[in-house]
Structure 1
Amino acid sequence: AWFGKSAAAFQHFGMVVLRAVENRVAFARSANTGISGFIDPQGRILHATPLFTEAVVTGRIPVGRVRTFYSQQGDVFAYGCVIITALLLFAGYVTRWPVARGTRL
């Protein structure tokens, strides 16, 4: 793999664990030279293979799905934060808070 024997394989597998928790879904990850394994919706690693190891793994993962706020609403929260920030910046620009004499920014 492009990352060789570095921390990248562990980072990639860690991102799958994060996504499992974030979306409350189980994952079965397969990598040709990295870490393959099963992760449950709570982020628990049910099985993982070592790096650069050929393996055939079977397992069971839950398939039920609980919809999270993000999976239902998408980027609504992020857009809301951008809008609020823009409004606050605009309000600060319009009101131009007075600066004491002799004070430099």
Structure 2
Amino acid sequence: MSDELKTKTSLGVEIKKDKQVITLCKNNGFIFRNDYFIDVDTFVTEERGKGYATVAAVHLIDLLLKNDMYPLWETTHENIPSHKLALRLGFEVEENYPVYAFILES
């Protein structure tokens, strides 16, 4: 791994409860010019649906826009909660495209 990659930092927002990270909204690894792809995860199943992902995403989007960066949202076709959150945050569906993966047998 290159030294440049090891030291690369990313913007993100985390929400903690009792010192445990509940939700993390951050770059998903893709940055192109000013386009900044974001992901949000609420790791604790019991904490889902309580608005933590919305709060984290709103804060990160605000930070990105203040820094002249353009937030983009990708999700799988099946991830309905992600679709609903993206629309609630003001994103609009721009395009759909296939994603190809290697299927590894265990």
Superposed pair shares fold, TM > 0.5: no
Q: Which has the higher strand share?
A: 2
Q: What's the TM-score, normalizing by structure 2?
A: 0.30
> Which has the higher Rg, Structure 1 or Structure 2?
1
